[in-house]
Amino acid sequence: MIGIEPSIARADMIRCVLCDKAPCAEACGLLDVDRLLRSIWFRNEQSAAQSVPAHNPCLVCPAPCERACVRAGEVPIQDLINRLYYQVKPDCETSLPQDEERLRCDLCGIELENPFLISSSVVASTYEMCARALEAGWAGICFKTVCSLDIREASPRFSAVTGADGSIIGFKNIEQLSDHSVAENMEIFRRLKANYPSKFILASIMGKDEQEWGELARLCEENGADAVELNFSCPNMMEEGLGSDIGQIPELVERYTAAARKACHIPILAKMTPNVASMSPAAEAARRGGADGLSAINTIKSVVGVNPHTYVSAPAVHGRSAVGGYSGSAVKPIALRFIAELGQNPALAGMHISGMGGVETWQDALEFILLGSGTVQVTTAVMQYGFRIIDDLKQGLNLYLAEKGVASVREIVGLGLDTLSSTTETLERDTIVYPHHIRERCIGCGRCEISCRDGGHQAIRLDKNRRPVLNGKACVGCHLCVLVCPQKALVPSARRIPARKKPAPGTGK
């Protein structure tokens, strides 16, 4: 069933670098090998499995794809495709949809072919980039923030936190707004709307005062933008009183939103800063000012890495650095928390929420939708993997909706909000879910014992065969062991057990 723990995971292809014009695909000639590998990477393995023909050519193939690989012999391509065919394909309960009608949605009443937009950033900063994204299948773009400021960028301006395979987990930037003139950006909008009339153009803007916020909003409408996004959240501005400085002050959010609302008639989204304890005060102010929707989150103020020899954090610019904006997979839990806050706030009911922050796979996007996002925006994953990720975003979400019998993605927006509380006081505490051991998966590494002993409740020991034995009297059902097991040999039990009652204070009974 789609959405459960995948049969094949990124760890199974950890040495694959997801090449452009992949040599493995060129060497094969029978399968879109690179496309299948990407689908595994982006947790779309069920769609990939159904793309393998009934007569799997890998069964009798000498695997020229593996020899052609840029890391020849290091990626088990043939084994991965055979596993798709033999392990994943038989479990596929729903055929691949023949169309994408389930993905159709809207942003403030404007129809979109799917919920996926490119967010305001370097990936949507020129006509050519936006055109490539739209042709790849994205429903629309939010163009890099238009302003009248003299933008001069630092070099370098990116840094990252990477995982064991080298892929980016967290991404820091000190980049600012569009370095094109207002007139140049308006020309781009006109060309995009003329050449892609069915696609959605969201114009991000930032002004210095009420007059400029209004003027930019008016110009964007006149030159083809379908909606305006007010950037109250960029953390990287050279001048004070701009970007996230505004987003932290509800009175300014309301004032500048009202100025934009007065000047244009198209929908307005206010882009919220996450550099606050609560997003609701500024969001409610945006609504009072006339905003039709909200977008969140922008990047989080951060410091990434400090060089132990120069003592300068990254990115280093002539021996100095600065606090910058953090994005990527690492920020998704924080983004979801803010999306849920907006989605659960009755004062914001009916406002469109365009969610972003760490979206990389279709399941990431689904989580935003379930917590209230009507559309989803992406940047950091595109910077790392390219516009091509839209294929798996659409295909994976479409297959999920088909399997669930859902006719439209609109039907699932916010379905996860009712089960989520802002505090833990509402949670049931009278039962325990013990970990269950799947013996055939266990390799006897002892990671569960180490973590339970040194970070848990000393409830696990290894027997003479190096298999975990659970002490039910000591186990509290925290599931640390489940999380650290590299083989997924420990999983939650299927049933809850009544918790042991603590003795009354001072009685021992």
Chosen domain end from 353, 380, 412: 412
Judge whether 244 and 233 are in contact, CB under 8 Å: yes
d(CA 89, CA 51): 9
Residues 245 and 348 in one domain: yes
Examine the domain organization and report whether 238 and 337 are in the same domain. yes
Whether residues 294 and 344 fall in one domain = yes
* Residue 257 within a domain: yes
Q: Tell me the whole-structure pTM to 2 decimals.
A: 0.94
pLDDT higher at 479 or 235: 479
- pLDDT tens digits, 4-47: 667 788 989 999 999 999 999 999 989 999 999 999 999 999 99
Please state the domain count of the chain: 3
For residue 223, give the nearest of 258, 184, 260 by alpha carbon.
184
Per-residue model confidence (pLDDT) at position 509: 52
**Could you tell me if 124 and 23 lie in one domain?**
no
Residues 144-189: tens digit of each pLDDT: 999 988 888 889 999 999 998 888 999 999 998 989 999 999 999 9
- Residues of the chain above pLDDT 70, percent: 96
Residue 16 bears catalytic tag: no
CA 113 to chain centre: 20
Residue 152, pLDDT score: 87
What is the model's pLDDT at position 237? 66
b/e for 358-396, b at 16 or more Cβ within 10 A?
Answer: bbbbbbbbbbbbbbbbbbbbbbbbbbbbbbbbbbbbbbb
Question: Is residue 238 located within the same domain as residue 347?
Answer: yes
In a domain, 504, yes or no: no
Final residue belonging to a domain, choices 412, 444, 479:
412
Tokens representing 428 are: 């049931």
Map tokens 């301006």 to a residue: 157
CATH of the domain at 23: 1.10.1060.10
- Its domain, for residue 443, covers 431-498
Answer yes or no: is 311 within a domain.
Answer: no
Same domain, 248 and 361: yes
Is residue 243 scored above 90 in pLDDT?
no
Q: Is 18 inside a domain boundary?
A: yes
Among residues 242, 291, 297, the alpha carbon closest in space to that of 272 is found at 297
For residue 506, being part of any structural domain is answered with: no
Catalytic option among 65, 108, 142, 234: 234
Q: Tell me, yes or no, whether 326 lies in a domain.
A: no
* β 140-146/158-162 pair status: unpaired
How far is CA 14 from each of CA 77, 164, 473, 485, rounded to the nearest angstrom? 11, 9, 39, 18
Do residues 258 and 405 both lie within one domain? yes
Q: What is the pLDDT of residue 218?
A: 98
Residue 171 lies in a domain: no
Mean pLDDT of the chain: 94
265 in a structural domain: yes
Whether residue 464 sits in one domain with residue 368: no
Please provide residue 397's backbone torsions phi and psi, each rounded to the nearest 5 degrees. -65, -40
Mean per-residue pLDDT, 54-67: 92
Q: Which of 50, 67, 91 is the last residue of a domain?
A: 91
Average pLDDT over residues 204-223: 97
Kindly state whether residues 259 and 361 are assigned to the same domain.
yes
Taking only Cα atoms into account, the Rg of the chain, rounded to an integer number of angstroms, comes to 25
CATH number of the domain encompassing residue 435: 3.30.70.20
